[in-house]
Amino acid sequence: MKMEKKFKILQVIGSLHIGGAENIAMNFSRYIDRSRFQCDYLVFTEDIGEYEKEAISLGSKVIHLDPPNKGYVNYYKNLKKILIDGKYDVVHSHTLLNNGLTLKVAYDSNIKKRISHSHSTNIMGKKNFLYKVYAYLMKKLIVKYSTSLIACGTEAGSYLYGEKLFKEKGILVNNGINIKDYVFNKEKRKIMRQKIGIENALVVGHVGRLTAVKNHDFLLDVFFHIHKLNRESILLLVGDGELRATIENKSKELGLEENVIVTGMRTDVPDLLQALDIIVFPSHFEGLPVTLIEAQASGVHSLVSDRVTSKVKATNLITFLPLEEKAEVWAGKLFDCLNNERRDRSQEMIAKGFDVYSTIIQLENIYEE
């Protein structure tokens, strides 16, 4: 009997550390039909990410390579060798502007399916003249050398490809999750709160990297006013990053060091969400945050910056506030959102297309078409 062709896919992602885009990329290995598809990962870090061991256990190969900005010519040569030696059928790139160079290399390596995937609506930091030139060139390369333009939301697609082109040719692929992992469970909530030592507290949460785009500085200001109104409140920050020391220092300056818990990177986010009473998410910008999809699936309300796409609102558990509003206003609004009965929201999430199984089928079709 003739064997069906197995497609080899190279997922190009910044790292396999815990993060939203990384978790989505890992879902391709977790839930894809591995009898038909082989997903490998190319990462731009020397260190071993938290997801790497799992990726290898699922049969994926993880390739470490210096990022393009360490030398564009070397990146081109090294990536081309990897693609040709690996005999890949598909390159699926998740590195925003760097998708352009990656997909140019894929084209020159005769890769027939070249996918650009946008997970964000902007890039943090100063945008000088050189950055603007680079962004212009990379966006041109993306449009020229991609066979599929994918984004997690319309704003993310418009940012990387242009509104007109994404509307005409773009493909919206939701950030799907395994919804049953997040369904609210009273017993699990009790156990998690006991483990953390927050049984009777009002627990305000945030899940995400400790980086500037997530706006933890403002989050701490908001929590300062929350704590004035409720002395039994705790801020639980799930994640790690370059701003950890800055965040911990500001907590001390505000006299909140005993009330702010930084957990570091965690692999048990579905369980930690059970322990929360509400999430505050004041990001400067986002694509379509996986955290807020997970939060809704677990039945927890989220107070969210108006810089986040409205497409993330799959249930009535999202309340948007202008980022220009004062921290006191955010704190006051939080208490209006607390009267929420936690219940199973899985059917609502599935109906809105955030189930991982439906998104995986969509991707399988894109890979094979």
Q: Write out pLDDT tens, residues 309-318.
A: 999 999 999 9
Compute the average pLDDT of residues 45-52.
92
Q: Assess contact for 138 and 98: CB atoms under 8 A.
A: yes
- Cβ atoms of 89 and 9 within 8 Å: the answer is yes
pLDDT, mean of residues 160-177: 95
Sign of CA dihedral 93, 305, 215, 238: negative
Determine, yes or no, domain membership for 1: no
Instruction: Please compute the mean of the pLDDT values over residues 50-75 and round it to a whole number.
Output: 95
Strands (E), the chain: 7-12, 37-43, 62-64, 90-93, 113-118, 148-151, 171-172, 202-207, 233-238, 260-264, 278-281, 301-305, 318-321
In this prediction, residue 369 has a pLDDT band, given cuts at 50, 70 and 90, of confident
114 with 196, same domain?
no
On average, the pLDDT of the chain sits at 94
Is residue 2 included in any domain, yes or no? no
**Whether 123 and 39 share a structural domain:** yes
**CB atoms near residue 35 (< 10 Å):** 9
- Examine the domain organization and report whether 219 and 340 are in the same domain: yes
Residues 33 and 106 in one domain: yes
Average pLDDT over residues 176-198: 94
pLDDT in tens, 197-251: 998 999 999 999 999 999 999 999 999 999 999 999 999 999 999 999 999 999 9
Domain range for 198: 179-351
2 pLDDT more than 60 = no
pLDDT for position 1 = 45
Global pTM? 0.90
pLDDT band of residue 122 (cuts 50, 70, 90) is: confident
- Identify the three-state secondary structure at position 127: coil
Q: What is the pLDDT of residues 280-299, one digit of tens each?
A: 999 999 989 999 999 999 99
Statement to judge: residues 22 and 43 lie in one domain: yes
The dihedrals phi and psi of 149, each to the nearest 5 degrees, come to -110, 110
Name beta bridge partners: 131: none
Measured at the alpha carbon of residue 347, what is the angle toward residues 345 and 349, in degrees to the nearest 5?
70
99-108 helix and 129-145 helix, angle to the nearest 10 degrees: 40
Q: Which of 225, 252, 214, 333 is closest to 237 using CA atoms?
A: 214
Residues 227 and 264 in one domain: yes
Domains in the chain, number: 2
**Burial track 62-73 (b if 16+ CB lie within 10 A, e otherwise):** bebbeebeeeee
> Do residue 195 and residue 113 come from a single domain?
no
List the CATH number of the domain containing 163. Answer: 3.40.50.2000
HSE-up of residue 226 (Cα within 13 Å, Cβ side): 31
pLDDT of residue 55: 96
Question: How confident is residue 20, by pLDDT bands cut at 50, 70 and 90?
Answer: confident
Dist CA 357 CA 36 (whole Å): 16
Residues 123, 214 within the same domain? no
pLDDT of residue 127: 77
328 contact partners, CB below 8 Å, separation of at least 6: 225
Average pLDDT (334-349) is 89
Supply the pLDDT for residue 332: 96
Residue 169 lies in a domain: yes
Identify whether 223 is part of a domain: yes
